Amino acid sequence: MYIEQAFKGKSSGARYLFGTIAIFFSWVILQTLPFIIALGFKYGYNEKLIAVFSDQNRMMSDFSSNTTFFFMLLGFALSLLVLFLLNEGIHKNSITNLTTSRNKIDWSRFWFSFSTIAILNVILILVDYFFVSPDDYVFNFNLVPFLILMLIAVVFVPLQTSFEEYFFRGYLMQGIGIKTGYRWIPLVITSFIFGAMHYANPEVTQMGDLVMVSYFGTAIMLGVMTLMDEGLELSLGFHAANNLVASLLVTADWTAFNTESILRDISNPTADWEVWIGALVINPIILLIYAKRYKWNNWGTRLFGKVQQPIVSQVSEINDIEDLSEIKKDY
């Protein structure tokens, strides 16, 4: 069972509390650090740097879109490294156990999910471009900037999405799960936190609060996917494909990824009933496809069952106690 993999390492509440705080603040710091360093080289570390950095629009105008995209993703890549190091250092647990309940990471699952979502997204975007709303797009392709973008995106977008999956559906899912004792509690909590973290995205400013339905709906779907499949492989593939297609094929001035993509959306959209179609129709269909492919069963147990510590892990925790003389004698 996926959540129970946390018991194979050091799994005290104090370790998870410290680890969560350390990962979160590392993430916040590393999101801004590349920009501070680059601006420092340009302006020097003085009052002018502070003025430029405090004005986000001015700061972004100092860099090309590809450079800004690279710095943004670099912060996620470094945060993923921090997460892995803390998992190994604090919890003495392996990346494999943080990824899956299987003996080794099943990359075929990752690639199935990646290819399915990539093909689906490309089809939906091209149908909209050619047949539904052609006036909402402009052809934006420029060879050299696009090749640079593609190199950055292919390398760093999977690292960005992997950090989010390993933090929310991995580290927090396992930590909250083993401490609350129920599988549905970390599903709800991590989905809420994941959705809420996207509230600052420019898409929300442009389209309105209703677009949050999409973020919360996607978070719940990825959480269900993780619990039903007992691993992160499918959600890792889904998230990587979704963001990679978005960054390469179509972006807009009002999206978090403002890149040198092939197409640019020039519409002025607002969230409407379509977000409910995505959350209540498309997401369940995707889950059914995966369920059919991997023969998921016992939905009630996997989503709402209890998390139970294996006996082997209980004995291991006893052996971690410093003074074992009387306990070992009785044992």
Tens of pLDDT, residue by residue over 221-249, are 999 999 999 999 999 999 999 999 999 99
Output the pLDDT for position 111.
98
Summarize the confidence of residues 309-314 as an average pLDDT.
66
Under 8 Å between Cβ of 148 and 260: yes
Average pLDDT over residues 17-42: 91
Name the least confident of 74-83, 112-121, 247-256. Answer: 247-256
Per-residue pLDDT reduced to its tens digit, 56-108: 666 667 789 999 999 999 999 999 999 999 999 999 999 999 999 999 999 99
Query: Residue 330: is its pLDDT beyond 50?
Result: no
| Angstrom distances, CA of residue 64 to CA of 59, 252, 260, 261 | 11, 15, 10, 13
Q: Strand ranges (DSSP E) for 256-305?
A: 263-265
Contact 215, 198 (CB under 8 A): yes
What phi, psi does 182 have (nearest 5°)? -130, 145
**Tokens found for residue 294:** 């991997």
pTM above 0.75, yes or no: yes
Radius of gyration of the chain (CA): 22
Which two three-digit tokens encode residue 168? 């929310």
pLDDT digits (tens, 9 = 90+) for 174-212: 999 999 999 999 999 999 999 999 998 999 999 999 999
pLDDT at 22 over 90: yes
Q: How many CA atoms lie within 13 A of 10 on its CB side?
A: 16
State how far the Cα of 16 lies from the Cα of 21, in Å rounded to an integer.
Answer: 8
